[in-house]
Amino acid sequence: MGGLLDDFSTTLRAGLVSRTLNKCSRWACHRREMGEPFPGLYTFEYHPWCREPHDCQSSFISVMKGAQLGMTEVAINRAFFTVDVLKRDVLYVLPTALNASDFSKSRFNTALLYSPYLKGLFTDTNTVGLKQAGGVNLYIRGSRGDSNMKSVPASVLILDEADEMDQKQIWLALERLSGQKKKTVFSLSTPTIPNYGIHKLFLQGTQEHFYFICPHCGRHTELIYPECLEICGETITDPNVRRSYIKCKECKQKLEHEEKPIFLKTANWESSVTGVDEDHRSFYVNQLYSYTVNPGELALAYFRGVGDEAAMVEYHNSKLGLPYIPDGGQVTESEIDNAIRPYFKENQRPQIGSSSTIVMGVDQGKMNHVVIVEFTLAGVGDLNAVAFAKVLAELKLPGDDFTTLDPLMREWQIKAAVIDADPQINDARRFARRFPGYAYLCRYRRGVSGKEMQVAEEDSGAPIVTVDRTNWLDASLGRFHSDRVHLPADTSLEFKDHLKAMVRTYEKDDQGNPKAIYLNTGPDHYAHAFNYAEIALPLAAGIVAGGDVNDKVI
């Protein structure tokens, strides 16, 4: 009899506890068990900034963060809580299918291994991309591919490492959810560049920072860089670097790293802006708050970045949780202004038989963006490095009629034209066949080194050039950094904006090594058209000077 009463009492207590776990933070502290470095039931003692993102009820939640700050565990807890308590399907998205597979096996399955309650909750844990708890589903997907996020019927979307994802898919998923009556979108990521990915989402929300009371001066403050990090030593090998410390930006007093759990215990989130949509809460936290990363480690990361562009990007993104553009990583307004000269786009076209090296780049789409450039050699060496560029024209033409490009070939006596191969490849091929020897299709491909160009003849009879995207953008946009390009006085604002939209930063390759890439913060069609004109220069060098392009038209 006693055994039955004990079982009944245990069941009753479990039921009563379950009914009180109606907040994600409370649920996590009772249901989620963790491994190292903080084994046992989940706690907010060392990550107090994580409590509010657990319980936030806004439709849109964005977290811009440094690495190793516990926010991925917040996302996992929200996913489990939603499935267990709210009985709603969850779509958990990572950058790629491989990321999703590895994450499912390492993070989700490990969480189930440590937590007996979770292990009993899910009836099927063998499928990498789908975890089922009764009739509720937890989908785990990569962001690449048109069908990955469109076909999943979930009203709760979690985007983990949003900056590494296919950005078009993110906005597509957000747009689809906008029609849902009840929805939640939780996005988190270390940032990369301004106005991109998580930083763009952060700026659309409440932009909240984590404030605490300084134990020395009693003022309300936060930990921000560089005001709150006192870097000691002179170089990465200086033993004094380990003496670096964090400090209050108000009173400049040292804040003891080991006492963070004490003075951060009563900290709270506060918005830094007014008049924004309260249904989109956005949070920012950096590693100055971290209990597992000490100030000496932050200082070492800083010194690694001195003289190492990739390491400095990593320092700002992963340590400070800030978007960052390295020096020379973006064409600036002043560089564009410096390139403007007193001539106009409607200047007289060159005469037939002119020896000028004039090329054309075309980025195709709904509109075909066209840039026409005259190159003048100013030395001996690498052709693109020694040539000076003068933009003669930039214009847009209908993307559904490629024959509108033909008159430009004749009027400007184009020596070589390079056109984006996609999306309308058949139209691009027909254009190239109308100007054999003068027009080329182009594709950006990995595996092509430096400014190497691989030229092949397609079965369709249209030549196609394969190049490395980053190296050629370095060559074309680098002209503005080195003052080797002129622009007409009536250059359009759109052209300027497209140039500034391209930002050079770094990502990790498959081996974990930094690799330079260009990201776009907005429309960039003219930037690519200008780049295709740069690619056209060495192709034009193979054409006999003084020839009439009309002779090549068939």
Confidence of residue 97 (pLDDT cuts 50, 70, 90): confident
Is there a single domain that holds both residue 96 and residue 176? yes
**Whole-Å CA distances, 351 to 277, 348, 390, 407, 469:** 58, 9, 17, 14, 34
Q: Do residue 411 and residue 279 come from a single domain?
A: no
Q: What is the CATH number of the domain that holds 82?
A: 3.40.50.300
Longest dimension (CA), the chain: 108
285 & 416 share domain: no
Out of 234, 262, 289, a domain closes at 289
Same domain, 364 and 277: no
User: What was the pLDDT predicted at 112?
Assistant: 86
For residue range 259-273, what is the model confidence (pLDDT) as tens digits? 999 999 999 999 999
Of 460, 423, 417, 454, which is closest to residue 437 (Cα–Cα)?
417
Within a domain: residue 258? no
Q: Same structural domain for residues 280 and 347? A: no
Rounded to the nearest integer, the mean pLDDT of the chain is: 89
Domain range enclosing 362: 333-552
Reported as half-sphere exposure (CB side, CA atoms, 13 A), residue 156 has a value of 21
Residue 487 inside a domain? The answer is yes
Helix (H, G, I), strand (E, B) or coil at 151: coil
Give the pLDDT of residue 497. Answer: 98
Domain count, the chain: 2
CATH code for the domain of 519: 3.30.420.240
The label of the residue with tokens 């024959």 reads 403
* Same domain for 385 and 279: no
Cα gap 213→155, rounded to integer Å: 38
Residue 59 pLDDT exceeds 80: yes
Which of the four pLDDT bands, split at 50, 70 and 90, describes residue 8?
Answer: very low
Please, what is the Cα angle at 442 between 436 and 445, to 5 degrees? Answer: 150
pLDDT of residue 83: 93
| pLDDT at residue 548, rounded to an integer | 44
Contact 387, 537 (CB under 8 A): yes
- Is residue 334 within 8 A of residue 479, CB to CB? The reply is no
> Last residue of some domain: 259, 289, 319?
289
Q: Is there a single domain that holds both residue 173 and residue 53?
A: yes
Contact 243, 233 (CB under 8 A): yes
Q: For 513-553, write each residue's pLDDT tens digit.
A: 888 999 999 999 999 999 999 999 999 987 433 344 444 44
Q: What is the pLDDT of residue 449?
A: 67
* pLDDT for the residue numbered 125: 57
Which stretch of 96-100, 168-172, 471-475, 477-481 has the lowest confidence by average pLDDT? 168-172
Look up residue 26 and give its DSSP letter.
H
pLDDT at position 411 is: 92
pLDDT tens figures, 207-228: 999 999 999 999 999 999 999 9
For 406-418, write each residue's pLDDT tens digit.
999 999 999 999 9
Q: What is the mean pLDDT of residues 243-267?
A: 97
What number of other Cβ atoms are within 10 A of residue 151's Cβ? 9
Distance CA 328, CA 47 (A): 37
Rounded Cα–Cα distance for residues 210 and 272 (Å): 10
Assigned domain for 429 exists: yes
Count CB neighbours of 245 within 10 A: 18
What's the chain's Rg over C-alpha atoms?
28
Task: Examine the domain organization and report whether 388 and 277 are in the same domain.
Answer: no
Query: What are residue 293's phi and psi, to 5 degrees?
Result: -115, 115
Pairing of strands 280-285, 130-133: unpaired
Q: Is residue 414 part of a domain?
A: yes
DSSP string of 96-136, one letter each residue? SHHHHHHHIIIIIHHHHHH-HHHHHH-SB---TTEEEETTE
CB-count burial class (<10 Å; 0-12, 13-18, 19+) for 235: exposed
DSSP secondary structure code for residue 446 in this structure: T
| pLDDT digits 0-9 by tens, 496-519 | 999 999 999 998 877 778 889 999
pLDDT (tens digit per residue) in 146-158: 455 556 667 789 9
pLDDT at 179 over 70: no
Same domain? 342 vs 419: yes
Binning pLDDT at 50, 70 and 90, where does residue 11 land? very low
What pLDDT sits at residue 106?
83
Q: Does residue 426 fall inside a structural domain?
A: yes
- pLDDT-derived band at 145 (thresholds 50, 70, 90) equals low
Of 19-23, 158-162, 252-256, 513-517, least confident by mean pLDDT is 19-23
User: Distance (Å, rounded) from C-alpha 440 to C-alpha 453?
Assistant: 12
Residue 178: both structure tokens together: 């906008």
Q: Is residue 140 part of a domain?
A: yes
Rounded to 5 degrees, φ, ψ at 14 are: -65, -40
Asked if residue 160 belongs to a domain, the reply is: yes
- What would the mean pLDDT of 287-313 be, rounded to a whole number? 96
Of 101, 98, 164, 172, the closest CA to residue 130 belongs to: 101
Domain stops at, among 236, 258, 289: 289
- The verdict on 394 and 458 lying in the same domain is yes
Q: Is 439 among the domain residues?
A: yes
For residue 142, give both structure tokens. Answer: 């990569």
Q: Can you give the pLDDT at residue 9?
A: 45
46 & 176 share domain: yes
Mean pLDDT of the 314-336 span: 96
Whether residue 206 sits in one domain with residue 353: no
Percent of the chain predicted with pLDDT > 70: 89
User: Packing angle between helix 525-540 and helix 469-481, nearest 10 degrees?
Assistant: 100
pLDDT value of position 552: 43
pLDDT of residue 18: 61
pLDDT at 547 (0 to 100): 43
Q: Do residues 372 and 392 lie in contact, with contact meaning Cβ atoms separated by under 8 Å?
A: yes
Binned at pLDDT 50, 70 and 90, residue 1 comes out as: low
Give exposure, 23-44, as e/b (b: 16+ Cβ within 10 Å).
ebbbbbbebbbbeeeeeeebeb
